[in-house]
Amino acid sequence: MKTYKLLFAAALATLGLSSIASAQTAIYISGAPATRAIWNQAILNTLTAKSTGSPTITKYWSGGTVSTGYTTANQIVLTGGNLSGTAVTIYASWTGSTGGNQSVANTPPATISALKVGFLSLSGSGSATAGGGNTFNATLNPQYPQVNLSDTLQSTLPFNGTTSVTTPATSYVALTEATTHNPAVTGFEFVTNKGAPSRLSNITTNLAQTLFTTTDGTPLALFSGSSADQNIFIYPVGRDIASGARYILLAETGIGTANSNSLVQYAPALNSGSTGITGIDAYPSTSGTINLITPIAGNGGYSSFTPVLAVLSATSSDTVGYPVTYVTDSDATTVIGAGGHALNWNGVPYSVAAIQQGQYTYWSYLHVYYNNTGNYIQTNFPLAKSFADFLAADLATDVGTGAILTSSLSVTRSLDGGLVTGTYY
């Protein structure tokens, strides 16, 4: 017995940071990068509010290829907090509403290694640094997420029930939405790049359907009403199939969420200084899979906002054409700051008041989901379930996250892209 104790103590001494991290209860969260600013702040606010005593919460983060600050980070880790006195470490990685939904809803749960999500690591080679600065490497800490933070209803996405689009064919259960349901909403905007003509100022439902389903671009004349613009073309740019924002686009425009594979999107080429667009070609086919789906040429898209911003921060010409894409309201602010501009949606400019009163309809509810089929999360990850419920409840009242509180709306809708009515419930 004494020998065993000595060996055990030696093992603990060699583990260092790893042993400290493992002593914590880890909670793994995936979700929508489009709304990461909201989620990152809400997670921090919730952990701070629910931790007992006077904890010192340390933030680790990565912005993807560069670190741009905690709020806009693509991966975060929070240590030092607790839930009812039990120490927890929160890991979050924003890989997409759709991708997160697939990973969490898979049944039997946590059985397909390809559905693991890459998180930051607190130990080993390439470990995260407090205060940010670490470049994301998905191979550092692959884990199955327990919670998915989404800007889409699960019914909007393909991974709800048995589906045949994956290899191997995989079954998915209906996820449970944490209490409070639909706690907040986020708006979306169509935007174009730096220096694009100011007459590219409005997009309608018909134009959006035309733009995102037609190859070889759409004449600017359809947007501007000027025959002089017949030979200037607008090209659709967008997100990959793991993105919830892609499915909100399909729902809101009426293209239809079942038609993701028919979406047309382009990949503008940038010059060596990334200041100008030199050409706009169909998004290339890529090797491998996204959510176990093999992308096809012309149907792919960017995995995060960072490369989208690079495109929108660059100038183009009438000869090359101009990109139009879809982003969240917070990312639209960044685009405008980089020289791009937003388009009106069906003649209505974006504003919080326009969403609240029903004039502007390009928005979706936010959701906190987990898999509790057969009491799965409650039995195996009770702290993760508790944190998810706390997070949803906080989001319903927290004005500091940047989300629009559902309680502030005078309207409602039952489906993504569905009819907006004047009765709140």
- Rg of the Cα atoms in the chain: 22
Q: What 3-state class would DSSP assign to 131?
A: coil
pLDDT tens digits along 102-153? 899 998 899 888 889 999 988 877 788 888 876 656 667 899 999 999 999 9
Q: How confident is the model over 239-249, as a mean pLDDT?
A: 91
Least confident of 12-26, 47-61, 248-262, 289-303: 12-26
What's the pLDDT score for residue 137? Answer: 61
pLDDT tens digits along 205-230? 999 999 999 999 999 999 999 999 99
Q: How far apart are CA 2 and CA 60, in angstroms?
A: 39
Average pLDDT, the chain: 88
Residue 202 predicted with pLDDT over 80: yes
Q: 289 falls in which pLDDT band (50, 70, 90)?
A: low
Q: How confident is the model over 89-105, as a mean pLDDT?
A: 92
Q: 165 falls in which pLDDT band (50, 70, 90)?
A: low
Q: How confident is the model over 174-193, as a mean pLDDT?
A: 97
What's the pLDDT score for residue 16? Answer: 40
Give the global pTM: 0.90
Least confident of 2-11, 313-322, 361-370, 385-394: 2-11
Q: How far apart are CA 415 and CA 412, in angstroms?
A: 9
Residue 12 predicted with pLDDT over 80: no
Residue 22 predicted with pLDDT over 90: no
Domains of the chain, start order: 2-149+368-404 (no CATH), 186-363 (3.40.190.10)
What's the pLDDT score for residue 161? Answer: 77
What's the pLDDT score for residue 293? Answer: 65
**Nearest CA-CA partner of 175 in 367, 369, 365, 375:** 369
Phi, psi of 121 (to 5 degrees): -110, 140
Least confident of 164-168, 241-245, 419-423: 164-168
CB-CB contact of 145 with 103 (8 Å): yes
Helix (H) or strand (E) holding 147: strand 147-150
Q: 26 falls in which pLDDT band (50, 70, 90)?
A: very high
What's the pLDDT score for residue 300? Answer: 84
**Looking at per-residue confidence, does 95 or 38 come out higher?**
38
